[in-house]
Structure formats: structure tokens, C-alpha cells
Amino acid sequence: MKVLLINSESMYIKQKAAIPLGLLSIATYLASYGHKVRIYDRAVEKKSVKKQLDDFKPDIVGIAAPASFNDALKVSRIVKERSIPVIWGGQVTSLIPDIVLKSGVVDFVVVGEGEITMLALINALINKTSLHTIEGIVFIEDGKIITNKERAFADLSQLPIIDFSYVDPTKYWIKNSNYDKLLFVYATKGCPFACSYCYNSCLSKGIWRARPAEYVLQEIKNLIENFGMEGVYFTDDLFFSNKAYLKSFCNSIIDSGLKFVWSCEARADCCTREDLQLMYDTGCRWIFFGIESGSEEMQIKLRKALDLQKARTTIEICREIGITTTTSFMLGFVDETEDEIRKTVKYAKSVEADSRIAFKFKPIPKSKLYEELIMEKRISEPQTLKDCKNFTWMDALYHNYSKVPDKDLKVISSYFYLSLLRNGKNDNKSKSRGWTKRLFFQTLDILKRGSFKSVILLILSAKELFEIMYYAVFFPKVRRKYGLDFKTNK
């Protein structure tokens, strides 16, 4: 069967388009079973949907739908005009399959991982066998939504090494201050923690899994030797959950003889100096730490329970070793008070991170906080994809569930963003140039898309930057209220 996999475009993603790892894995898996597969990424390709359909003539179309949904709906309507079955998948889609099917232009929703489920669904369509036995799909039959049994997580060693030839990896290079050819790769899936603001407790069920290191390193070797890649950002939700895996993976890098730099996301209270030194010695140069709150009480409420003192020590060790750190915080959690916000701001300013980002909290479907807000009738369950539009923009404040004024949240968040663009942490000019360079190349990437959408994206980016400057600069009383000072960047 000919399968066209489409990565639909999001008008809310203004940064560099990310290489579609999920679709690449599905494509590689389906091809290993004899299916002819093509990937069409609307974020980087100019060819129209109709032209793609005319050229490839697919029997079925699978669409990765980001949370903005508009482009995915547009593509689905065009595909359905030709009576081709449409399948949607993706993280947000997996959380709201019933709502997706109500759109009227989607035949099936794949919930969770797509490789094995897509193969089973395609085989059922070919052989015209029952759909009810296919685990991991939701569909409509006789006007009713049918939700099949969930599929158990795959053994990641049973999924193939990803074939990156379905796309042009060079179109997805990520640039920073020192390297121009970085790319996303994944080594693990899931997370064992159960933070109340996160979707992982629903999608990954608290299970963390690792791919065989040799698979990951073979992909990296391919990307280095055939495309000139310099380093990778491991896009895993949590790069490692135990020291044994970390040591084993780092030793595998050493044994492979590959030389590349890399970045990951890690929990800030689970790393020792020995761990971090080993990571650095094998190429780790950046780590993203999700701190979220500087309040110990809020850490407990969020079920993250991060040890803030250990996190501080970890960041200090990273600075000593030479690993660049980014710390992420969230503002405006449910019923969060000004005092709790002050603790977060104070903590954020005090840690020796190279970059500090402050997002505004937004409830994610199926997360614990989301379910609590539903039960308390503080939000309504969405009924249509239009109702779900507020899931799309992590740093946009659609509704404030805290006890802190909207303006305060916007000022604090904007302060940290503008501080990053102005002079980084502690007037580190090299970090400032790095973020400015990233912003410059982000603008160039938007312009290179060469479409009306790129103009809109550029306008949205300019509007966002203006709002950051406005809230960060023109509300000195609010800044003083939380002890924020541009002169000292503290």
C-alpha cells in the first residue's frame, strides 16, 4: 500500500521546524513490511497538498497534527475530497481522539505510538477485516465513536533504526553560538514521574523506556558521515532515569569512537558530579532543567517534589565543569499566590544557570491539574477542535487560574525573556550573542518558507517580541514588587 505521511504546519511554531522523528520512525517501520511510504513536511516543503496527492497517489494518508489543528484540518479536507482514508496521530491528538473525530474529516485516530498500530490498521484495511481488534485506534462506526483497547508499549528494540532519507535532514539544522548543524534525535521515551501539570502520566503511564544505544549511535553516525551533522539535541522528555543507563550510554559513545556534542533534558536533583563529568567527557555541552517552582510547598503540590538545594548544586557543578544550563520555570499555577511567585523569582535569580526561562502555566488535557479544574467546574470540557485552541501556545496567557494578577505574570515572564536577549546571565555577552544569533536565524528561517504563512508568522513573532518588551520595560512597579532589576539582572 502507498502511504503518505504528512507533518502539518502549526501557525504557533515560530522557531525552526523540528525534524519529524515520529513520522520517520513510522515510515521506516512500514517500509520494512513492504509498504511504499513518502513523508511530506509542510513546515519545510513548498509543494501543495494537491500536487503531492497527484504525484504520489496514496492509498492512505496519515497526518501528524500539532495542537493548532488548522492546517491539519485543511489538509484533511483536501484528502477527503478524493475519498482517501485519513488517520491522525500525535501527542495532543492522542489526548482528545473523540473531539478529533467529531471534525468530520478524520477516519481514524491512532492513540500513542504509531508504528505497530499503523501497520495493523493498514493491514486491516487491505484485507477488509474487523477494526475492533486493532489496539490503539479510535474510530466512528454507525455514528458512534468506538474506542478500542489501548496498545501496550512497544519494546523499542523491536522498532527499526530510523531511516532519515525520507526527508532532507539539512533543512532542519539548529544553530547556536558555537555550532551550525545540530539536529533532534531521540534515545528514550516516557518519564517515571507524575507531575500534576504534565501529560506524561497519561501517555507514558509513568513508564520510562530506552532504545538500544547501538540504534541511536548508528543513526548519529549516519547523520554525521552523510550529512555533516555536528551534534544532537536529545528530544526525550527525560534523558535518563537511572545512573546505570546513563553510564552505559556514555560508555557506548566512548566505545563507538564518534565525536559529537549533545544536549538533553534532565532532572536537576538526580545528577552527581561524577555523572555530569562523564556526560561532559562524552560530548554533553547543554542541559535543560525543568525547575518549575522555587517554592518547596508548590513543588509538593505539583507532585514534582524537586529537591531545590540539590538542583542548585547540580547547576553549580555544571558551570564548573563547562556544561551550559537552561532553567525553566512556570508561573501562575492553580491558586498560586504572590508569595509563592516571589519564591520562584528569588530562586530563579539565585541559581547560576546560563539561561532562565519563565513560561505561563496552561492546563494540558488529561493532566492531574486539568482534571481537577474540570471537576471544580473552573474550566469546561472542550467539545470541538476550536475549543482546544488554548492548548497551542505554551507561553500565552489565555486564562489565569492563580491568585496573582495577569499583568504580574506577563511582566515577570517578559523580564526573563528580555534579560536573556539583552545580556544573558550575569552580563555574559557570549550567551547574549548566542541567543541573538538564534533569534536572527529564526527570522531567516521564517522568511525562507516563502509563503503567505511565513509573513503571518513573522508578524506574530514581531508582535510577541513587542509584547515582551512592553511588559518587561513599562511596569517598573511590578518588577520592584518581585525584586527584578535590569541594571543588575537580578
Query: Which pLDDT belongs to residue 489?
Result: 59
Q: How confident is the model at residue 426 (pLDDT cuts 50, 70, 90)?
A: very low
pLDDT value at residue 422: 72
Asked which of 155-159, 340-344, 417-421, 477-481 is least confident by mean pLDDT, the reply is: 417-421
Is 2-147 CATH 1.10.3720.10?
no
Q: Of 455 and 392, which is predicted with more confidence?
A: 455
How confident is the model at residue 385, as a pLDDT? Answer: 86
The reported pLDDT for the residue numbered 437 is 57
**pLDDT grade, residue 441 (50/70/90)?**
low
Quick check: 177 pLDDT over 90?
no
Residue-wise pLDDT tens digits, 107-144 = 999 999 999 999 999 999 999 999 999 999 999 999 99
Q: Binning pLDDT at 50, 70 and 90, where does residue 435 land?
A: low
Mean pLDDT of 349-362: 93
For 424-434, what is the mean pLDDT? 45
CB atoms within 10 A of CB 155: 8
The string of pLDDT tens digits covering residues 58-117 is 999 999 987 678 899 999 999 999 999 999 999 889 999 999 999 999 999 999 999 999
Which CATH number, 3.80.30.20, 3.40.50.970, 3.30.420.10, 3.40.50.10260, labels domain 161-481? 3.80.30.20
Q: What is the pLDDT of residue 429?
A: 44
Q: Flag whether pLDDT at 395 surpasses 50.
A: no
Task: Tell me the mean pLDDT in the region 27-46.
Answer: 95
Confidence of residue 450 (pLDDT cuts 50, 70, 90): low
Rounded Cα–Cα distance for residues 354 and 236 (Å)? 21
The predicted model scores a pTM of: 0.91
The pLDDT score that the predictor gives to residue 211 is 97
**Please, which pLDDT band fits residue 148 given cuts at 50, 70 and 90?**
very high
Q: Tell me the pLDDT of the chain averaged across its residues.
A: 90
Using a pLDDT cut of 70, give the percent of the chain over it: 89
pLDDT at 428 over 50: no
Range from 15-29, 76-90, 195-209, 429-443 that averages highest in pLDDT: 76-90
Q: What is the pLDDT of residues 341-350, one digit of tens each?
A: 999 999 999 9
169/58 Cα distance (integer angstroms): 23
Query: Binning pLDDT at 50, 70 and 90, where does residue 201 land?
Result: confident
Mean of pLDDT values over 393-402: 66
Looking at residue 427, its pLDDT comes to 38
**What confidence score (pLDDT) does residue 394 get?**
45
Which pLDDT score is estimated for 61? 98
pLDDT at 320 exceeding the cut of 90: yes
Please compute the mean of the pLDDT values over residues 135-158 and round it to a whole number.
Answer: 96
Domain with CATH 3.80.30.20 in the chain: 161-481
